[in-house]
Amino acid sequence: MNRASLFWIAAAIVLALLPPVASALAQPFYIDLVRRVMILAIAATSLNLILGYGGMVSFGHAAYLGIGAYAVGILAFYGVTNGWAQWAVAIGASALVAAAIGAISLRTSGLYFIMITLAFTQMLYYLGLSLDAFGGDDGMRLKARSRFPALDLADPVQSYYVALVLMLLAVFLVHRIVNSRFGMALRAAKSNDARTRALGISPYPYRLVAFVIAGALCGLAGALYANHANYIAPSYMSWIQSGDLMFMVILGGMASRAGPVLGAFALLLVEEVLKGWTEHWQAILGPLLVLSVIFFRRGLAGIFYKPDA
Amino acid sequence: MPVALIFEQLLNGLQYGVMLFLMAAGLTLVLGIMNMVNLAHGSLYMLGAYFAVAATQWTGSYAAGVLAGFAGALLVGMLVEVIALRALYERDHLDQVLATFGLILFFNELVSMVWGRGSLYASIPKWLQGHVQLFGGSTYPVYRLAVLAVGLAVALVLWYVVQRTRVGMLVRAGASNRAMVAALGVNIRLLYTFVFGFGAALAGLAGLMAGPIYAVQPGMGDLILIQVLVVIVIGGIGSIRGALVGAVIVGVVDTLGRAFLKPLLATMISAPAAEAAGPALASMLIYLLMAAVLALKPAGLFQGR
C-alpha cells in the first residue's frame, strides 16, 4: 500500500472516530466545527480542480457555494424539502451558472481572468443582497432541512458523517478526473498551452468542462453548507469567502490530492484558535497568511509528498 | 425627468469617476511596471481617510489632516513595499493576490483596533461648505466640485510627469521593458519604491477626500478596490489613459444607474418589480459592463498588457 492511501485511511478513521470521542467528552462543539471544515474542504477540493490542475485562477469560486445554498433555501421556502430534488437543483444550477461564467471568462487569461471571475461573483453577491423575499442582506433561516429517507440532517452526528463521506467522495472524484484522459489534457493545457494545441487538443472545451464540474461540486458543498448552518446568507458569496477558498488550496498545496483538505483544516482551525485568543484575530491571521505565501511555497501537502503536475 | 437632476447626477458620477481615477492611476502603474497586483491599495485609501480624520481632530486644522492623509499613506505604502511586497515581484499573480488579501485583513482589523468598528465623522472646512447655484434653480455642494477639480488637476500633473519628465520617461521605459532599463544602469528597485509610494499617496488622497462624502469605517477600501479593479480591467492594465477613461465610465454608469435605473424600469415593468430589480441591477451594472468589455476586447479598451 502506498503512502497516499495510508494517509487517507488514517485520516478517514480519525475523522470517523471524532463524533463518539467528542460526545464522550461532552464537547459537541468540535463536531460542528469539523463538519464545517469538511464541507468547505469539498468546496476547496472543487476549486483545486480548476486552480491547481487547470491553472485557472478563479477569484470567484464562492459564487457556487452561494448558489448551492440558495437553491436549498429557496426550494425549502416554497415547501420543496425532498433532499434529492434540492441537491439536484443545487448542483444543476451551479453547473449552469458556471457554464455561463466560464464560457465568457475563459476567453480571457491571466490577470483579466482573475478579475472577471471576481466581477461575476460580485454580481451574484449583490443579487443575493437584493433578494428581499429571501432575507436580503440579513440572510434567512432554512424553513426545513433537506429531507432524505432514513437520514436526519438536523442531527449533528448524522450530518457530520454525510459531510465526511461526501468529502472523501469529492476527493476521490477529483483524483479520478485528473488522472483520466480528460484530466491529462487539462493538466497539459496548464503546463504548456501552445504544445497542447500542437498535439491537436484545443484547451478551451477542456477548461470549460472542468470549470463546470468544479462549479457543480462546489454547489453540492453549498447545499451541505446551508444544511449545516441552517441558514443562507449573501456572505457565502462574498469575495472574502472566495479568497478563503483560494487560501485553503494554496496553503494545503496546489494540484495535490490532500492539499485542499489539509488547507481547509489548517486555515479554519488556526482561525478558531486565534478567535479563542482575541476578537482581533484577523490582525494576526493576515500577516500569517502573507508569511505563508512568501515562505511556504509548496503547501502542507508538500511535506508529505511531491505535488504532481 | 428634470434636466437639472440629470446634470447633478452626472456631476456626481464625474466626481466619483475622478476619485476612482486617483486610485486606479497608482494601481495600474504598479501593475504595468512591476506586474504586481496589489489588493492592499484599498487599505491605503482607508488609511488616508483615517489619518486625515485623526490629524484634523487632533490639531483642529484641515490642512494638517490633508497632509497626514497624504504623507501617511505614502509612508505606509513604501513601508509595505519594502517589507512585504518586494518578495512578491517575481511570483505569479496568484501569490500576489493572496498575500495582499492577507494585508487587507490585517489593515482592516488594525484600524478597528485603533479607532473602533463604528464609522468616524470627517468634517469639511468652512470654506468648502455650502452650495453653488446650478442652472434651473438646483444647487450643488462646493466640496464635491472641489474634489472634482483636485482629481482633474492630479490627472493633468500625472500626464505631465509621465509624458514630459525624466522620471516619467523611466517609468514608461520600465513598463515596456524592465530588464533593459535595469541593464542601462537605472536603479529599478528605487524606481519601484518611488512609483509604489506615489501610487499609495494618490490612494491616500482619494481616501481623505472621500471621508466627508462616504463613511469612514473599517473595510471602506474593499468596495472601492473592487470597483477600481473593474476600472483597470476595462481601461486595459498598465494604461493610464485607459484608467482615466475607465474611471469616468464606471463612475458615471454606477452613479446614474443607482439614481435612474429604478424609475426607468418602472416605466417598463410593474412598480413592485422595478422596486426589487432596480437596486440589484444598479449594483450589478458596472460588472455587466466589464464582462461585456472583456467579452469583446479581452485586453481592455486601451489594449493593456
For A108-119, the pLDDT digits (tens) are 888 889 988 998
The predicted pLDDT at position A88 comes to: 96
Nearest to B98 among A122, A239, A293 (CB): A293
Rounded to whole angstroms, the Cα distance separating B245 from A18 reads 57
The per-residue DSSP string of A39-89 comes to HHHHHHHHHHIIIIIT----S-THHHHHHHHHHHHHHHHTT--BHHHHHHH
The SS3 assignment for B119 reads coil
Q: How far apart are CA B226 and CA B51, in angstroms?
A: 22
Nearest to A235 by CA among A66, A35, A120: A66
- For residue B48, the model assigns a pLDDT of 94
Tell me whether residues B103 and A286 touch, CB distance under 8 A: yes
Task: Supply the range of the domain harboring residue B166.
Answer: 3-218
Q: Above 90 in pLDDT, residue A28?
A: no
Q: Which of A48, A241, A294, A298 to mutate to test the interface with B (most CBs of B within 10 A)?
A: A294
Give the one of B106, B222, B229 whose C-beta lies nearest to A115's C-beta: B229
Q: Which residue of B has its CA nearest to A130?
A: B280
What is d(CA B68, CA B79) in angstroms, rounded to the nearest whole number?
16
Nearest to B237 among A107, A111, A247 (CB): A111
For residues A183-187, average pLDDT: 93
- Is the pLDDT at A250 greater than 60, yes or no? yes
B187: left (phi over 0), alpha (psi -120 to 50) or beta: beta
Residue B303 inside a domain? The answer is no
pLDDT band at A309 (very low <50, low <70, confident <90, very high): very low
**Closest to B196 in 3D by CA, of B219, B174, B227:** B174
Strand A231-232 to strand A151-152: parallel, antiparallel, or no bridges (unpaired)? unpaired
Helix axes A239-252, A282-295, angle to 10 degrees: 40
Contact B237 A288 (CB under 8 A): no
In a domain, B212, yes or no: yes
Distance from CA of B274 to the nearest CA of A (A): 12
Q: Which pLDDT score, from 0 to 100, does residue A307 have?
A: 47
The answer to whether position B239 is within a domain reads: no
> How is residue A82 written as a grid cell?
425532498
Partner-chain contact B298 A112, CB within 8 Å:
yes
Higher per-residue confidence, B117 vs A166: A166
Would you say the C-alpha torsion A72, A73, A76, A77 has a positive or negative sign? negative
| Dist. CA B106–CA B95, nearest whole Å | 17
- The C-alpha cell of B11 is what? 456631476
Task: Say if the Cβ atoms of B88 and A294 lie within 8 Å.
Answer: yes
Distance (Å) of CA B247 to CA A54, A148, B59: 33, 51, 34
Q: What residues contact residue A47 under an 8 Å CB cut-off, 6+ apart?
A: A58, A61, A214, A218, A245, A246, A248, A249, A260
Residue B251 falls inside a structural domain: no
CA distance A267 to chain B (A): 12
**A56 vs B: CB within 8 A:** no
Write down the mean pLDDT value for chain A. Answer: 90
Non-local CB neighbours of A4 within 8 Å, separated by 6+ positions: A257, A258, A305
Statement: residue A306 has pLDDT above 80: no
Nearest residue, CB atoms, A287 vs list B98, B102, B233: B102
For A298, the closest chain B residue by CA position comes to B95
CB contact under 8 A, A246 and B97: yes
Residue A184's CB is within 10 A of a number of other CB atoms, namely 15
Query: Testing the interface with B: which of A282, A291, A295 to mutate, by most B Cβ within 10 A?
Result: A282
Q: Indicate the helix (H) or strand (E) that contains B248.
A: helix B240-266
Q: Which residue of A has its CA nearest to B36?
A: A111
Tell me the angle at which helices A29-48 and A239-252 cross, rounded to the nearest 10 degrees. 80
Mean pLDDT across the stretch A122-136? 87
Half-sphere exposure of A191 (CA within 13 A, CB side): 9
Q: How many domains does chain B have?
A: 1
Q: How confident is the model at residue A304 (pLDDT cuts 50, 70, 90)?
A: low
Q: Domain for residue B234, yes or no?
A: no
pLDDT, position A184: 93
Residue at B46 is within a domain: yes
Query: Looking at this predicted complex, what is its ipTM?
Result: 0.86
List of chain A residues whose C-beta atoms are within 8 Å of the C-beta of residue B230: 115, 119
DSSP strand pairing (A231-232 vs A140-141): antiparallel
Read off the DSSP letter of residue B91: S
| pLDDT band at A168; cut points 50, 70, 90 | very high
User: How far is B127 from chain A, CA to nearest CA, in Å?
Assistant: 38
Q: Is residue B61 part of a domain?
A: yes
Using the structure block, give the residue that is written with the C-alpha cell 464537547.
Answer: A27
CB atoms < 10 A from the CB of B10, how many?
14
Q: Does A110 touch chain B (CB under 8 A)?
A: yes
* Phi and psi at residue B134, to the nearest 5°: -100, 170
- The sign one gets for the Cα dihedral B145, B149, B150, B151 is positive
Q: What is the mean pLDDT of residues A11-38?
A: 91
Closest partner residue to A294 (CB to CB) among B99, B106, B109 is B99
DSSP, res A200? T
Strands A147-148 and A151-152: antiparallel
Q: So where are chain A's domains? A: 35-238
Give the residue on A whose Cα is nearest the Cα of B235.
A112
Widest pairwise Cα distance in chain B: 67
| A231-232 and B131-133 strand pairing | unpaired
Q: A245 and A118 in contact (C-beta within 8 Å)? A: no
- Positions in chain B whose pLDDT score sits under 70: 1, 136, 303-305
- State the nearest Cα–Cα gap between A227 and chain B, in angstroms: 26
